[in-house]
Chain A
Amino acid sequence: MLLDVSNLTVCYDRAMLINDVSLYVEEGEMVSLVGPNGAGKSTLLRAITGLVAWDKMTLKGTAEGDITLKGNIVFDGKDISKTPAHEIVRRGLVHCPERRRPFKEMTVRENLMSGAYLHMKKWDVQQELEKVFKLFPVLGDRLNQVSGTLSGGEQQMLAVGRALMSRPKLLLIDEPSTGLAPLMRKEVFNKILEIKNLGITIMLVEQEVASVFSMASRSYVLSSGKIIAQGKCSELLEDEMIRRTYLGL
């Protein structure tokens, strides 16, 4: 098992955002996490990759409350629930954050380099860059362009490319289709499939259930911080209640 989250609970002050969630990801598969707005999907990803603990510091600074995080997160055989975010990335669990978040004033090349930062000395970064360009030829064409001027779809590809530069074993992608035209969404999803075929395990968080279910093997349905259904995508689709209430199909 590549990632094994058991009994994870996240509270912001007294509000429970993630309630006793357990999930796992096997090596080589593609798992999706779906659910309505505010279900806690992004919080769950942030908790797994150690970014919530960062919030804890800033929230304490502005006196808005404390965050408590309980449960076990085991990645690649090691517990990472208390590991800082940059160390988690080093071990190969990379989070491609929501709303893309490229560094807008930097060029495409600098953006990608910042993703490879952990390994600049060890690896041939150029080779890594070429791999990304093979996947996303658009980025190769715009190498010296400031990334704030890229289109939404290109920025999404840049964000995924940056995540790939850290050589992930498991890639967590948070809502790659936000704010994209239908055609662009399709392309982004195709690229994600290509990445999966490269042998990288993927956990995909998405609102657009139809496309995701056609790609992923298993799925978790999250609602109000709880996992209310899980299993093979085809089985989930058969359950009338889940289909109507949570998947909107």
Chain B
Amino acid sequence: MRIVVAYTRRMLKILRSEVLVLPSRVAVLVFVIAILALPLVTQDYYILRIMILTSIFAILAASWDLLSGFTGQMNFGHALFFGVSAYVTALLNLNLGFPPYFSIPLGAMGAVLTGLIVGIPCLRLKGSYLALTTLAFPIILMGIVFAIPGITGGELGLSGLTKLTGSRVNDYYVTSILMLVLGGIMWKITDSNTGIILHAIREDEVAARAAGINTTRYKLLAFCLSGFFAGIAGGLYAHFMRLAGPSTLEIGLSFQVIIWSVFGGMVSIYGPIAGVYILNPFMEVLRVILDNFPSLPEMRMFIFAALVLLTLRFMPEGLIPWLRDKVETECPRCKVRNVAFRRSCRICNAAMT
């Protein structure tokens, strides 16, 4: 009992001194609590379905940010990892009867392998050449999928997978908690020494090599890591929708990932996650609203595009970094972040200008 009290007290102390001092940390805390508490508020089938898909896409967007944002390897075909994993998961589940907790990690391993296969020829390419090459891979795979309908189900895809879990609420908790955990892991990776190396590769590959960094290895590592996380998302998607179809390989999905990430703010991991959590439910709400006005032409994509364009016009770094700079300032002396209204730095007491 005493241990519990002491532990709680310590947690509260950390909460007060480390979390509550910064709006961004409070926002993350509120976000986590809101995600976990949502089923207590509503168990609406439709809302939960949207939130499940949102959390799956959030993993996907964050994994894109790890590869393209952090390492600077512009990937325009991120749906490849998603699709490969969805198909591998589906094949394992349908043909060999693997349960989801087995087939999804194996599907993700398939995506890692894809990351290696794609990564090796892409090592030599940079910028727009890399973007165009990666764009081609999902299209190639789609051709293969259509070519062998006996295995892949052709245009209809593979359907009838085992359900992720028994109930929708459980599905929601599995995907959301996985999103939080994987998002945390990705953020931790970018914050570690590996993160510094990936950052160095993004900024100046020659200088990184001159500093003794094996850029080949780390670029491949970035491809594999990103493939793994995207693969988890793909496997979850396949089991949740109980379907792995060619739509998981579509160019539209690849670009959607980029739009989410750029909208939310690249090179931050939390930016793309926030981008998905804002844009995806927003699109659904828009659909519901616009359904009440059947006389209007199809306005959904137009409003979406206008919103994204306006955001990028006024917040070129993305929504979340822009917001963060509004509510927090950096101490001029020790470079620690502070709430914008503080007069002096919370660490070194230097005057904030």
Contact = CB atoms under 8 A, between A and B. Distances in A.
B284 interface: no
A120 B194 CA distance: 11
Most buried by B among A51, A60, A85: A85
B335 A51 contact: no
B207 A86 contact: no
Interface in B185-204: 193, 196-197, 199-200, 203-204
How many residues of B sit at the interface, in one of the four size bands?
20 to 34
Interface in B211-225: 211-216
A162 interface: yes
A62 B335 CA distance: 41
A163 B207 CA distance: 10
Nearest to A125: B193
A78 interface: no
A217 B125 CA distance: 43
Contact of B123 (A57, A62, A117): A57
B210 A62 contact: no
Residues of B contacting A: mostly: helix
A144 B212 contact: no
A146 to B, nearest CB: 8
A84 B212 contact: no
B209 A106 contact: no
Contacts of A95: 210
A86 B214 contact: yes
Interface stretch (A10-18, A31-39, A108-116, A201-209): A108-116
Contact of B335 (A86, A94, A107): A107
Contacts of B125: 61
A58 interface: yes
B212 A89 contact: yes
Contacts of B208: 103, 114
B206 A117 contact: no
Nearest to B212: A89
Given A106-B200, A114-B197, A144-B335, A58 B213 contact: no
B2 interface: no
B25 interface: no
B334 interface: yes
A153 interface: no
A115 B206 contact: no
Interface in B165-205: 193, 196-197, 199-200, 203-205
A120 B212 CA distance: 12
Given A57-B124, A84-B216, 10 more contacts: A58-B124, A58-B126, A86-B213, A86-B214, A101-B207, A106-B199, A114-B196, A114-B208, A117-B212, A144-B335
Interface of B: 123-126, 129, 193, 196-197, 199-200, 203-216, 334-335
